[in-house]
Amino acid sequence: MPEAKSYLLSTVDGTIRTVMLPAGNRIEHIRKLVGSSRIDIVRIADSHLLYADNNGLIDGLSSIADLKDHPSPLAGNLLIVGKDESGKITSVSASIDEAASWFTIIRPVFLPVFETVRESQILSTRVIRLDVRIERSIPNVIE
């Protein structure tokens, strides 16, 4: 069983990069890359699998990822691998750009709203509230 080319997507950084999954003890390497000992597996079409932190949505989140045609958002580090007809891990067959297009990174952006304050002859501003805008983007490919 040779090394398997895979992609590691970070929902926090909004990036995706190629990583090599060693041939031996793959599940342990997957757990390290995902950052959790409890992992979920999501099928992507017939030729790929995604490994995600089982508790990724429980912690406070600064960002999430939507996977096309998947009903639930994903969080944390996501590992995408290929799979053969018997379900065994293989190298990914999709290009990294194609794999990136399967995901949308979603994160809140805080927008301060200011008011002008006039005290005596001093003019200043202060933040009176924070509005929130939701940003959506495709992961940035790290070569």
User: pLDDT tens per residue, the chain (143 residues)?
Assistant: 689 999 999 999 999 999 999 988 899 999 999 999 899 999 998 899 999 988 877 878 889 999 999 999 999 999 999 999 888 999 999 999 999 999 999 999 999 999 999 888 888 999 999 999 999 999 999 98
Residue 56 has a pLDDT of: 78
Residue 101 has a pLDDT of: 97
Residue 29 has a pLDDT of: 94
Number of structural domains in the chain:
1
115 falls within a domain? no
Residue 1 has a pLDDT of: 64
Residue 2 has a pLDDT of: 86
129 falls within a domain? no
Residue 74 has a pLDDT of: 93
31 falls within a domain? yes
53 falls within a domain? yes
pTM of the model: 0.87
35 falls within a domain? yes
Tell which residue, 46, 53, 49, 96, has the closest CA to residue 74. 53
77 falls within a domain? yes
Q: Whole domain around residue 59: which residue ranges?
A: 4-109+138-142
42 falls within a domain? yes
57 falls within a domain? yes
